[in-house]
Chains A and B, each alone.
Chain A
Amino acid sequence: GNSVTQMEGPVTLSEEAFLTINCTYTATGYPSLFWYVQYPGEGLQLLLKATKADDKGSNKGFEATYRKETTSFHLEKGSVQVSDSAVYFCALSSNDYKLSFGAGTTVTVRA
């Protein structure tokens, strides 16, 4: 079946540091890949997505590239801000209705 594995947190960074959150997946067919973000006390929001191999999703300074050869979709940001403190979820959808989510990575950015 489909599954997503993302790096465990929590991750604590200083402002302007480089952030990477690793995500790898197992899936049948040709999944679409997503990163969702959950700010404190809120629901999830779509951060970025990629629907086919070698696509790069980007939004708010975050980027992730769909790597079929390594079954990965790592999230990166070059210079984080305090406002980026949140929980980040990697997810995939395959040929049915379901989104499979990773366990989430808590990121805290200190001023």
Chain B
Amino acid sequence: DGGITQSPKYLFRKEGQNVTLSCEQNLNHDAMYWYRQDPGQGLRLIYYSQIVNDFQKGDIAEGYSVSREKKESFPLTVTSAQKNPTAFYLCASSISYGGIISNTGELFFGEGSRLTVL
């Protein structure tokens, strides 16, 4: 079945460590996104990518980095510079046409990765 796979589901990190969250999709979607979810704050966009080898900062990119070397993969690194990294991270993808993201707005989400800093 087509979908988005995030791993790991749960991750614990010591302060000062970088961690990388994996996101893989087999939906053949060009666009991919990373969101952060905190209680009572909804979803906030970290980074997005419209096409391979290109990505843009979202609303809260500080302390995060991404890469998009393959269409199927969009890993997120939470660096030690992120001051409050404990959160639930959601990866999503959507259709785009020639680099223009569809305005139908349907995002397909993975099941999320919960990161806890000890």
Chain A partners chain B: yes
Q: What residues of chain A have their CB less than 8 Å away from a CB belonging to chain B?
A: 4, 32, 34, 41-46, 49, 51, 89, 91-93, 95-99, 101-104
How many angstroms between the C-alpha atoms of A103 and B58 in the bound complex? Answer: 17
Partner among B31, B58, B90, B106 whose Cβ is within 8 Å of the Cβ of A49: B106
The interface residues of chain B lying within 8 Å CB-to-CB of A46 are: 106-107
The interface residues of chain B lying within 8 Å CB-to-CB of A4 are: 42
Given A101-B42, A101-B43, A103-B40, A95 contacting B103 (CB threshold 8 A): yes
Interface size of B by CB at 8 A reads: 23
- 21 pairs from A and B in contact (CB 8 Å cutoff): A32-B105, A41-B111, A42-B112, A43-B6, A43-B90, A43-B92, A43-B110, A43-B112, A44-B90, A44-B92, A49-B104, A49-B106, A89-B42, A93-B103, A95-B103, A96-B101, A97-B48, A98-B45, A98-B58, A99-B107, A103-B41
Given A97-B48, A97-B50, A97-B101, A104 contacting B107 (CB threshold 8 A): no
Residues 91-118 of B, flagged 1 when their CB comes within 8 A of A and 0 if not, give: 0100000000101111101111000000
Q: Helix, strand, loop or mixed for chain A's interface?
A: strand
